[in-house]
Amino acid sequence: METTYVMVKPDGVQRGLIGEIIGRFERKGLKLVGLKSVVPSKETAESHYAVHSERPFYPGLIEFVTSGPVVCMAWNGKDAIAVARTLIGATNGREAAPGTIRGDFGMDMGFNMIHGSDAAETAEFELGLWFPEGLMDWEQTITSWVYE
């Protein structure tokens, strides 16, 4: 079992897609182990996207992600990191496959509504960054009907 960090970005919140996005992860069979909404600080946003700090779009990305509320989530399940990335779709909404979140709702690169960790190390780092208080440990009774 893995846990991944997923975040509805300010454009997803502004567009009223919080419920739609959470619903897709819930219906898939992932288990919610962290959920909150915050307006990210510049420091948190900068560490989150530190890997992109030399890219030309970085200043705009930091301004965008700190511009309003985001929804921070932690989802747990088998191969949760890859499963979440599959649900999310390709970075550019115009190229993302239909049926994915970005493919169904996005038309651009910067405004792509959602973030998902891309590997085990980044998931661990991002979960610690956004959920320093820790995650919820609970038994979900449907699990035995999700995994055979």
Per CB under 6 A, residues contacting ligand IDP are 52, 57, 61, 91, 109-110, 112, 115, 118
Out of Mg ion, ligand IDP, none, what residue 115 binds, judged by CB under 5 to 8 A for its kind, is ligand IDP
Task: Name the residue nearer to ligand IDP (CB basis): 91 or 143.
Answer: 91
Q: Cβ of residue 64: shortest distance to Mg ion, in angstroms? A: 15
Of the candidates 3, 10, 2, 1, the one whose C-alpha atom is nearest the C-alpha of residue 115 is 10
Q: Cβ of residue 128: shortest distance to Mg ion, in angstroms? A: 17
Task: Name the residue nearer to Mg ion (CB basis): 71 or 114.
Answer: 114
Task: Name the residue nearer to Mg ion (CB basis): 34 or 116.
Answer: 116
Evaluate whether 34 touches 131 at the Cβ level (below 8 Å).
Answer: yes
Evaluate whether 139 touches 148 at the Cβ level (below 8 Å).
Answer: no
52 is catalytic: no
Residues that bind Mg ion in the complex, under the rule CB under 5 A: 118
Q: What is the DSSP string of 107-133?
A: --SS---EEE--SHHHHHHHHHHH-TT
Residue among 24, 85, 102, 115 flagged as catalytic: 115
Residue 116, beta-bridge partner list: 6
Q: Give me the amino acid identity at 18.
A: I
Active site residues: 115
